[in-house]
A and B are shown apart, each in its own frame.
Chain A
C-alpha cells in the first residue's frame, strides 16, 4: 500500500529558483494538505484542498502555490525560492476535515 507518496525526498535550490514538490495519494481521499516543519517546531499548514479544483490558504501560504486537478495529486510550487523556505515539507491526506490525516515521508528542501 503506497498511501501518500512525496517526491523528491531531498532537494537543494539556489535563491530565486523555482520547483514543484509532488504529492500523490492512492486512498481516494478528498482532503489533501501541505505542511512545513522547521527544526524543533510543529507543523504549519501552507495550503489545503477539499477536493479536485478547490484549494484554500492555510497559516503560511506566502511564497507558495498549489493546484488540485485530480483527486490523487496535490503539487506544491515554489516560484522564487528564498532561504526562509528551507524546511521539511509534508503532504497529507484524509477522508474529511474531522478525520485523521495520513502523512508522506517528507521532502527536505534547502535554499542556498
Chain B
C-alpha cells in the first residue's frame, strides 16, 4: 500500500523558534493535507494543498505541495506553547497518513 514517510519523528524546540517538518511518498497524490492532533482528540485539519507547487499559509503555518506531487512540507513560525501536539501529513485519495511528528515546545 501507499506509505508516507514523515520526518522528524519528534522535535523539542524553544518557544519562539521556527519549526519545519516534511513528508515524502513513493506515490503521487492530488491533494496533500496537514493535520494536528491534541491528546485525547481527533485530528484537526490545518492546511489543504490542491495544486503541485502551491504554497499556502494559515496564520503562522505555511505548507507547500511539492512539484513532483510526492512531497510536502509544513513550517510553523515563532512557535508558542499551544503548538504542542502531533502533526500528521496525509495524501488524499482516500486519506493515507504519515506516522506523525511529535512537537514539544519549551517555554
Which residues of A line the B interface, CB within 8 A?
Answer: 4, 31, 33, 35, 41-45, 48, 58-59, 90, 92, 94, 97-106
Contacts and interface: CB of A to CB of B under 8 A. Distances in A.
Interface of B: 1, 6, 30-31, 33, 40-45, 48, 50, 88, 92-100
Contact of A42 (B50, B88, B93): B88
B48 to A, nearest CB: 5
Contacts of A41: 99-100
Contacts of B97: 35, 42-44
B42 A100 contact: no
B42 A104 contact: yes
B94 A58 contact: yes
A9 to B, nearest CB: 10
Contacts of B88: 42-43
B99 A42 contact: yes
B96 A105 contact: no
A62 to B, nearest CB: 14
